[in-house]
């Protein structure tokens, strides 16, 4: 059994890791860590785990963490992993899967500019592997430190990479209009998560300023070989889970629906967590709820010459904890689907 | 007191007309019409009007309708008004405000192609005035037959017209990503409005095929003098009311935030129902709930050279019944705001 | 025009007072007060009032408040009015309508025990009139200080008083199971209003401990002449507005559905805001949304010998701001319905 | 591997059975049956199972069903199982777990009166075992035909039985106020599941008339040995999943919180799916979402002499498919928890 430790167990990312890892056949939840409430039982904070016999919350201590776990998941706010992960790496003994954004951007400059804080040590940023499993499987298999992708970038990149890589869409034409449930904002309190403010409401936020923009641009360029600015706009939807990305690109002349449909189907034919829906359909976020799937539908509008991509994930699963576990499975030579639910929760 | 008749009183559009007209100081709700449940009291269908003493539901009869009302609102499905409105026009005696799409598209060809049914008689389509009040106030004042704008076109056109008219955005570059509450689908039953299917869910629908596309293109061209294809994608959001339009256009070089902010503020300075929000803000649909406002925020992204417009309305008010009453006010020389709530319902 | 001042304008109670008073034909919103953000424009906090030209937020000062307003509404947390209202009363010049619980409980002991804080000066508590308009109309007309009823007590008392007063229900048998939307918790932040915690969720809270219990018992006893313990349990429902009270009482032998139906209909025959629904119906909270109605349905279960009362209000309107305005109307000899919407917002 | 067949695979009960059985280590989903859409792929109706390689929908035929399955789950509307289950029983070869109400009521009279239809053959009703696993484990182990409990009875009985059986509560005093998500109404279309009607709304329904009332009374009497009428009122809450039961009973004199707390904890000490929460807590439906738990909190109100029980389940899991699988596990001598998720989906 692989011994796993979870840092940030009192947040939503931590809770989702526990949900999925508790049912994982090859894993033992060895340690739960929290900087704020050490010594406490997690069920005091999360009554849904009442009676499950989980480990008590332990303080964050790199030395013991490196000794007592085979892999540590960091489900922490930006900035924490930047300090902790290099310590763990240098101690050796445990692998690290970081769900925060601290090791995703190769350029420290970009991190500083979009995150408004100091980047992690460049040495370790360069060693970290970007864990978009479907596209980096080999590097993930050999990695010690995974930068697990952001929720928006996951849904966006799985949709955009195939057509960019094939040269079918004009660089710079991408508009990515994304809609997310509220759990993506985490468990912290703010007016932006107050039920009475968010229920029966939709709004955009951080227009032209969201920190997932450079992550999308960086990985799109790496996978496709072409630099392309991306216009990214996130919206907050009155639901708890789910992300829908509606992405618009200007097609090169003459590209047909059949051609791109076939491209997507063949690209992801052997990827169990990416499901290419039939032409003409509209995937719903609810159709992947609780699961690690990314479902994608492709629409070519001949009238305007554009491709419209619809991509849905559960932001807590494929957009966070699920993909992290998928990466762990690859890192430990386990079946890629181990511990990940086969069927979404519906309705 | 102006005698008003409402056709389609058992639908949501009808209910909203009743809510607003019941408090209108210059209006008497003289007649309610329904093709399906004549003779019935409306409170049997809508318990929220219990005890209000509204007229019983009367059958649809053009002759008596033209005699007993000064104005008739048609809140009916596509196809009904195409037959009834010409009859009422020819009988004279009453003005007609049609909330359906039957008189909005000047081209019968376009109507046939997007609505998949036969268009209204061309003669009356030409005489109908498109009731986007802020832009057609003079024609509305003199009209007998109003084609009240669709919900999506209202939120879209109020945002796009100023910049297109000023030549600041490249024609053909518009991408309109719209999000709507479920009430826009009406009161009819389908899996698409089943609570368990829609709650905790978001999805796009009718990608590249929605019938509001040609309406937006037609009126944008008329007001700006420039033809421009528009990529329009509607989405269904788990909320009852509200539309948010996020519109993306490619700016001509050198256009600044200040310039477009000033353009919008001056364009709508004397329009009581359009509120231009400060630069950098993100209007929420909830901030106009129950009111006739359209709130717009303008974002210029210098990095990508695009303008991003955020426009919110209550689809039942400015997107339907409220704008219809605003048009009635103009047609009868009443104060434009008469009967329309000053303050949105919040929270 | 009556000059009104609103204390606590940055909370939801204040926002709802503004919504309703802005459209009131006999009222001018003269002053808005806030302890926290004086000098600020309210639209900075509540963008939905953007551009409405409301007064800036003024500091709380009893002297100027008493001079510049004919009536002051206090929409403040428990404890504030206990100090401020006596000051205003002693200065004279303005009437006070207090939406908090500070002047509702006649027994200081009870206040201390249920509110866990010191009560208001007994002298003023005795002078305050409990503003359940339908049952205290005469006293309200002559009052200077109104203790506006709590949201739960309003929906409960309007349902229970008629049958208790008629001696049809056994004292001590009442079980009041109440369900409320989240806006009743106010605008303050806590895990209990976090969207991700509350959405797709229902739970009871403060079982056997809610401070509205003694308020219900006190007023029920005063109106019916019979002391009766009441078992009161509130629940939080994933919606913004609305309260449903389901109340169970043990009937005296032989009481029939017809008898109680007739009792309720005659009791409230001339009360415009209480609507007795037909026998066998189930009122929905949504059917009173945004309005000042309390809708009640009566069910007699012959099998068990119980009466089941269903009572719905909008907690922000009849449960707070609307009833406060209804009381103001009575205090100033205005029509009882002035400024209060005739038709609920539906859907 | 146990071969299972699911009848009613196109409904929500069927979908939930598939979700849970697809991950069950000892089961193979051998057949899916549907009366309406035979020959179709299920993913045409439920896109969330896209690509999972489930069997095509087969017609309902007792002969082949009895041959090709070791156990058949019937997730069908009332009336279907009454005919089909006796056929399957007489053919032998397969066990049957019926999720409908057809075999729950021992009295044909009661079935006729509450369900308004003809009961199943009395012979088979007597042979059916009521599958409230925690209380009938032995009989379930030996059963061929299971009447799987209703959702409301499950949450109610697990809470009421311990105190009734111990004689701590006065018979006839029970009031059960239940709140359910919309999925309990199934996938059929009606105004009662229209999103715009149900969202932001709560209402009671079938007051004094719900068909789960006699089921609760029958099983409570069987387990406790005391007949007791139960006042049962269901409510519809704007959420998809979850049931909260708030139950009120009059305690015999002198019963303390500690006494009942201890009673519940010892009663369910070895039942993995019933979690007794600490005294003073309020379980949320969301804290059991997606899982087979029933979480119960006990409150004794010394002021009124009542016990208030709070009991929460996921109506689709412990209230339907999950308990059905729990019963299957017991019938086939599998571990009781096999295939059932350990951790609820949170948030």
Cβ of D347 under 8 Å from any chain C Cβ?
yes
Catalytic position from the list B75, B151, B276, B297:
B151
pLDDT for res C37: 83
What is the three-class DSSP state of C206? coil
Give how far the C-alpha of residue B199 lies from the chain's centroid of Cα atoms, to the nearest Å: 25
Per-residue pLDDT of D6-45, as tens digits, reads 999 999 999 999 999 999 999 999 999 998 887 899 999 9
8 Å CB contact of D47 and A344: no
Residues 6+ apart with CB under 8 A from B270: none
Spatial separation of the C-alpha atoms in residues A286 and A298, rounded to whole Å: 18
Q: Is the pLDDT of residue B37 over 90?
A: no
In the residue annotation, C151 being an active-site residue is answered as yes
CB pairs under 8 A between C and D: 142
Q: Do strands D243-250 and D175-180 pair parallel, antiparallel, or not at all (unpaired)?
A: antiparallel
Q: Which of D90, D148, D138 is nearest to D331 (CA)?
A: D138
Q: Which of D325, D289, D331 is nearest to D18 (CA)?
A: D325
- Averaged confidence pLDDT in chain A: 97
- Is CATH 3.40.50.1820 what the domain over B2-127 is classified as, yes or no? no
Q: Is the pLDDT of residue B57 over 90?
A: yes
Q: Is the pLDDT of residue C330 over 90?
A: yes
8 Å CB contact of D287 and A50: yes
- The single-letter DSSP state of residue A91 is H
What is the three-class DSSP state of A312? strand
- pLDDT bin (cut points 50, 70, 90) of residue B27 is very high
Residues 6+ apart with CB under 8 A from A253: A305
8 Å CB contact of A240 and C200: yes
pLDDT for res D80: 96
- Mean pLDDT on D282-288: 98
A-chain residues near B231 (CB < 8 A): 248, 301, 304, 306, 308
pLDDT for res A312: 98
Chain C residue whose CA is closest to D176: C177
Q: Which of C231, C211, C216 is nearest to C78 (CA)?
A: C211
ipTM of this complex prediction, to 2 decimal places? 0.97
- Mean pLDDT on A101-107: 98
Q: How many CB atoms lie within 10 A of CB A19?
A: 25
- pLDDT bin (cut points 50, 70, 90) of residue A221 is very high
State the Cα torsion C284-C290-C296-C299 to the nearest 10°. Answer: 10
Residues 6+ apart with CB under 8 A from C103: C81, C82, C85, C120, C124, C125, C128, C145, C147
A-chain residues near D18 (CB < 8 A): 343
pLDDT for res B277: 98
Of C200, C303, C312, Cβ closest to residue D286: C200
Tell me the nearest-neighbour CA distance from D194 into chain B, angstroms: 5
Of B182, B190, B196, Cβ closest to residue D196: B182
List chains touching B (3+ CB pairs under 8 A).
A, C, D
- Mean pLDDT on C89-94: 97
Q: Which of C45, C54, C44, C50 is nearest to C18 (CA)?
A: C54
Spatial separation of the C-alpha atoms in residues D292 and A20, rounded to whole Å: 16
Tell me the nearest-neighbour CA distance from B288 into chain C, angstroms: 6
Catalytic position from the list C54, C82, C147, C151:
C151
8 Å CB contact of D194 and B200: no
Cβ of A239 under 8 Å from any chain B Cβ?
yes
- Mean pLDDT on A11-25: 97
A interface test, pick of C195, C286, C346, C347 with most A CB neighbours within 10 Å: C195
pLDDT for res A38: 79
Tell me the nearest-neighbour CA distance from A253 into chain D, angstroms: 32
Q: How many CB atoms lie within 10 A of CB B304?
A: 20
Chain A residue whose CA is closest to D277: A50
pLDDT for res A35: 86
Per-residue pLDDT of B171-188, as tens digits, reads 999 999 999 999 999 999
Per-residue pLDDT of D168-201, as tens digits, reads 999 999 999 999 999 999 999 999 999 999 999 9
- Quote the Cα angle for C139-C145-C149, to 5°: 75
- Mean pLDDT on C93-120: 97
Tell me the nearest-neighbour CA distance from D347 into chain A, angstroms: 7
Of B193, B238, B239, Cβ closest to residue D194: B193
Spatial separation of the C-alpha atoms in residues A251 and A298, rounded to whole Å: 13
Per-residue pLDDT of A240-297, as tens digits, reads 999 999 999 999 999 999 999 999 999 999 999 999 999 999 999 999 999 999 999 9
8 Å CB contact of A287 and D15: no
Per-residue pLDDT of A167-211, as tens digits, reads 999 999 999 999 999 999 999 999 999 999 999 999 999 999 999
Domain ranges in chain A are 2-127, 152-314
Q: Which of C257, B295, A141, A343 is nearest to D16 (CA)?
A: A343
Tell me the nearest-neighbour CA distance from A193 into chain C, angstroms: 5
Spatial separation of the C-alpha atoms in residues C30 and C9, rounded to whole Å: 12
- Mean pLDDT on C332-337: 98
Cβ of C283 under 8 Å from any chain D Cβ?
yes
Cβ of B36 under 8 Å from any chain D Cβ?
no
Q: Which of A2, A63, A70, A73 is nearest to A34 (CA)?
A: A73
Spatial separation of the C-alpha atoms in residues B174 and B219, rounded to whole Å: 14
- Mean pLDDT on C93-108: 97
What does the longest C-alpha to C-alpha distance in chain B come to? Answer: 63
What does the longest C-alpha to C-alpha distance in chain A come to? Answer: 63
Chain C residue whose CA is closest to D179: C202
Per-residue pLDDT of C182-229, as tens digits, reads 999 999 999 999 999 999 999 999 999 999 999 999 999 999 999 999
Q: Which of B37, B21, B20 is nearest to B29 (CA)?
A: B21
Of C18, C343, C347, Cβ closest to residue B240: C347
Which tokens is D280 given?
């003073």
Classify burial at A77, counting beta carbons within 10 Å of its beta carbon; exposed 0-12, middle 13-18, buried 19 or more. middle
User: Which one is the CATH code of B152-314: 3.40.30.10, 3.30.360.10, 3.90.1410.10, 3.40.50.10190?
Assistant: 3.30.360.10
Q: Which of residues 72-131 of D touch B (CB under 8 A)?
A: none
8 Å CB contact of A19 and D343: yes
pLDDT for res D38: 79
Give the rounded percent of residues in chain B with a pLDDT score beyond 90. 99
B interface test, pick of A110, A196, A202 with most B CB neighbours within 10 Å: A202
Q: Is the pLDDT of residue B266 over 90?
A: yes
DSSP-derived secondary structure for C92-153: -SSEEEE-SSTTT-S-HHHHHHHHSSPPPPHHHHHH-EE--HHHHHHHHHT-SEEEPPPHHH
Q: Are C149 and C327 in contact (CB under 8 A)?
A: no
- Mean pLDDT on B33-50: 93
Q: Is the pLDDT of residue B38 over 90?
A: no
B-chain residues near D194 (CB < 8 A): 187, 189, 193-195
Q: Is the pLDDT of residue A123 over 90?
A: yes
- Mean pLDDT on C69-82: 96
Tell me the nearest-neighbour CA distance from B283 into chain A, angstroms: 6
Tell me the nearest-neighbour CA distance from C15 into chain B, angstroms: 7
Spatial separation of the C-alpha atoms in residues D140 and A183, rounded to whole Å: 40
Chain D residue whose CA is closest to C279: D207
C-chain residues near B344 (CB < 8 A): 19, 48
CB pairs under 8 A between B and D: 52
- pLDDT bin (cut points 50, 70, 90) of residue A137 is very high
Residues 6+ apart with CB under 8 A from C130: C104, C136, C146, C147, C149, C219
pLDDT for res C83: 97
Q: Is the pLDDT of residue C80 over 90?
A: yes
Active-site residue set of A: 151
- pLDDT bin (cut points 50, 70, 90) of residue A37 is confident
Cβ of B347 under 8 Å from any chain D Cβ?
no
Q: Which of residues 299-328 of B touch C (CB under 8 A)?
A: none
**Length in residues, chain B:** 347
- Measured N-to-C along each axis, helices C322-331 and C12-22 cross at an angle, to the nearest 10 degrees, of 50
Of D18, D275, D284, Cβ closest to residue A343: D18
- pLDDT bin (cut points 50, 70, 90) of residue A36 is confident
Q: Do strands C306-313 and C243-250 pair parallel, antiparallel, or not at all (unpaired)?
A: antiparallel
Give the rounded percent of residues in chain D with a pLDDT score beyond 90. 99
**Length in residues, chain D:** 347
Q: Is the pLDDT of residue B3 over 90?
A: yes
Per-residue pLDDT of A48-93, as tens digits, reads 999 999 999 999 999 999 999 999 999 999 999 999 999 999 999 9
Say whether A152-314 and A2-127 share the same fold: no
DSSP-derived secondary structure for A113-162: HHHSSPPPPHHHHHH-EE--HHHHHHHHHT-SEEEPPPHHHHHHHHHHHH
Which tokens is A207 given?
């227009």
Cβ of C189 under 8 Å from any chain A Cβ?
yes
Of A50, A200, A287, Cβ closest to residue D277: A50
D-chain residues near A284 (CB < 8 A): 47
Cβ of D238 under 8 Å from any chain A Cβ?
no
Strand runs labelled E in chain C: 2-7, 27-33, 57-58, 71-74, 95-98, 129-130, 145-147, 174-180, 203-204, 230-236, 243-250, 274-276, 294-301, 306-313
The verdict on whether omega for the bond into residue A347 sits within 30 degrees of 0, i.e. cis, is yes
Which tokens is A77 given?
């706010």
Paired with B294 in beta bridges are B274, B313
pLDDT for res C36: 82
8 Å CB contact of D187 and B193: no
């Amino acid at each position: 059994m692989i011994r796993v430790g979870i840092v940030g167990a009192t947040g939503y990312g931590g809770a989702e890791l526990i949900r999925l890892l508790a049912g994982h056949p090859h894993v033992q939840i060895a340690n739960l860590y929290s900087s704020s409430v050490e010594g406490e039982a997690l069920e005091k904070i999360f009554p849904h785990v009442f009676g499950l016999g989980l480990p008590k919350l332990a303080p964050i201590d790199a030395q013991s963490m490196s000794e007592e776990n085979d892999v540590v998941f960091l489900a922490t706010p930006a900035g924490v992993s930047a300090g902790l992960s290099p310590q763990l790496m240098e101690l050796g003994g445990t692998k690290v899967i970081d769900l925060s954004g601290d090791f995703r951007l190769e350029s420290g400059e970009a991190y500083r500019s979009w995150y408004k804080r100091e980047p992690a040590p460049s040495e370790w940023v360069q060693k970290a592997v970007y864990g978009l499993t479907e596209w980096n499987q080999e590097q993930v298999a050999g990695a010690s430190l995974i930068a697990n992708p952001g929720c928006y970038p996951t849904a966006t990149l799985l949709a955009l990479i195939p057509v960019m890589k094939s040269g079918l869409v004009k660089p710079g034409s991408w508009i990515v209009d994304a809609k997310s449930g509220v759990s993506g904002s985490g468990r912290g309190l703010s007016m932006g998560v107050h039920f009475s403010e968010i229920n029966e409401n939709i709004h955009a936020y951080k227009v032209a300023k969201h920190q997932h923009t450079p992550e999308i641009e960086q990985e799109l360029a790496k996978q496709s070989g072409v630099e392309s600015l991306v216009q990214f706009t996130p919206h907050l939807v009155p639901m708890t889970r789910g992300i829908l990305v509606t992405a618009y690109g200007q097609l090169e002349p003459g590209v047909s629906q059949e051609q791109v449909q076939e491209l997507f189907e063949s690209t992801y034919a052997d990827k169990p967590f990416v499901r290419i829906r039939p032409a003409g359909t509209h995937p719903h976020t609810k159709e992947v709820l609780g699961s690690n799937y990314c479902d994608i539908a492709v629409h070519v509008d001949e009238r305007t010459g554009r491709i419209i991509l619809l991509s849905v994930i559960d932001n807590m699963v494929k957009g966070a904890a699920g993909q992290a576990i998928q990466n762990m499975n690859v890192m430990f030579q386990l079946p890629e689907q181990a511990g990940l639910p086969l069927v979404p929760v519906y309705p």
